[in-house]
A and B are shown apart, each in its own frame.
Chain A
Amino acid sequence: MDQELDDLLRASSPTLAERTDDVQRDLDRLVSETETAVSLRKRRATRRVGLIGLAVSSVLGLGVTASAAGLVDTPWTTNPEKPFPFPGPFLHADVLQHVGTDCKYVYAASDVKDPKHPVGKNDRYRALEHARQFVLDFDISTISVPDAERRYLIEYSRWAASAGTPPDVQVPSSQLTPDGSPDDIRTAAVQMEMDRRLQADLKARGLSTHAVTVMGRPECENFYDPQDLHPDEILP
């Protein structure tokens, strides 16, 4: 009877959806998209902006070492975990490829304070006002994403070589890449390129290049943040 019962019970399992190629492909996609979505949401505008801030500092000649040592007083270098204001206006960009159409990446200009290059209140205000409009009007299609990504990875490697390997990157320095998804790299690369052009524009107009930078963060509709769940929910 025991063996018979075992057989009956095994056979009683509800019939499952066939694991077609479509189902298997969508399962794999769900795994990778969940990682990307969670990664984007968790990071918000902290670490990635920090990396970009460092890379951009290098481009601007502020000095990677100074930035890495926290001498450039930016929200991300003083306290990467502390949320900081991210005021608009925002440029909503379709640069994400791996988290579906419900997510967009938004960019905005934000002011930064560099003790090595103090900027007066009026100059800061003029630079910030111009930068906000510059970002809002920015045409993302003018950026070659592959070129921007190459440039970003080079800057990242330079930063990593001089400031040390981030703790969660365990690869030889010759293969060093940011610990991020393709969307992480893409959004960061676009952000860096926008900042590069913003600084060039500010310089051409005689405005301060030490007062503002471009920041970015993901915004997702119809997608809840696991961080927002009530503690009573889900946790084993």
Chain B
Amino acid sequence: MKAHERAAFRAAMRNTSSDLLAYFERRVRSAEDAADLLSETMLQAWRRVDAFPVGDDTRQRMWLFTIAANVLANHSRSKRRRTALADRLRSSVAAASPHPDFTEANAVRDAVLRLHDAHRELVMLIHWDGFTILEAAHVLGMNPSTARSRYAAARDVLRQTLKESATPHSADDGAAAPQRRR
């Protein structure tokens, strides 16, 4: 890898690191885990540096998020490895993490998290991480037309779920609802 390509790679890592951390923060239980996954993503990116798409910011970002998606996919089925590299970030992210909120958004978030696997990640990439449908399809290695139809289906499910949750409950249901939100 030439010096200017290495510099571009370094810059892409630096510019995307906060968004990658956010990507993991939205998907794992603890901020510490998010820090570890980010560290692992960076190690994997360096391992595959020869495949880094030079000269196109969007493709570079997609490339890094694709690696992150695979790191996340392996997170649940492989033994988690803590690296010394993430020690400091693990601590500072944990210290800066907000307390759990109990706002109305929780109900919507619950509905998203209850979506079918194939739908959920699309919705999260588009609405939480700010990707377009095409970009989200790329990150997930999915055909764009498949992504469009799945996304439309996911929206239908969400509309229905939120409509049902907005229906007035009986007195008993009303008492139970806050507990469901924690």
Give the B-binding residues of A (Cβ under 8 A). 1-2, 5-6, 8-20, 22-35, 37-38, 99-103, 167-171, 179, 220-224, 226-227, 229, 233-236
Contact = CB atoms under 8 A, between A and B. Distances in A.
Given A12-B105, A22-B96, A236 B84 contact: no
Contacts of B182: none
A221 B3 CA distance: 29
A103 B87 CA distance: 14
Interface in B18-32: 18, 21-22, 25-26, 31
Contact of A9 (B46, B84, B98, B127): B127
A1 B159 contact: yes
B17 interface: yes
A226 B47 contact: yes
A9 B108 contact: yes
A34 B70 contact: no
A168 B97 CA distance: 41
Given A2-B155, A34-B13, 16 more contacts: A5-B158, A5-B159, A9-B127, A9-B158, A13-B26, A13-B105, A17-B94, A19-B18, A27-B14, A27-B17, A28-B14, A30-B42, A35-B46, A170-B3, A223-B83, A226-B44
B1 A30 contact: no
Interface string B62-98: 0000110111001000100111111111011111111
B123 A9 contact: yes
B96 A168 contact: no
25 contacts: A9-B112, A9-B127, A9-B158, A11-B108, A13-B26, A13-B105, A17-B93, A17-B96, A17-B98, A19-B18, A19-B96, A20-B96, A24-B18, A27-B21, A28-B14, A30-B39, A30-B42, A30-B86, A31-B42, A100-B84, A102-B84, A103-B84, A170-B4, A220-B84, A222-B84
A234 to B, nearest CB: 5
A14 B25 contact: yes
Contact of B47 (A25, A222, A227): A227
B116 interface: no
B10 interface: yes
B82 to A, nearest CB: 7
A160 to B, nearest CB: 13
A101 B83 CA distance: 12
Contact of B87 (A38, A100, A179): A100
Nearest to B67: A236
Interface residues of B, number: 63
Contacts of B39: 30, 34
B136 interface: no
A168 B133 CA distance: 38
Contact of A5 (B25, B109, B155): B155
Contact of A17 (B6, B25, B101): B25
A12 B89 contact: no
Contact of B162 (A8, A20, A171): A8
A236 B141 contact: yes
B48 interface: yes
Contacts of B85: 30, 33-34, 37, 99-100, 223
Ranked 7 nearest A-B pairs via Cβ: A12-B108, A9-B127, A226-B47, A102-B84, A13-B128, A26-B89, A38-B46
A36 to B, nearest CB: 9
Given A9-B123, A12-B112, A22-B96, A226 B46 contact: yes
Contact of B13 (A31, A102, A233): A31
A22 B43 contact: no
B180 interface: no
Given A30-B38, A170-B3, A223-B85, A12 B127 contact: yes
A13 B84 CA distance: 29
Given A234-B71, A236-B70, A20 B92 contact: yes
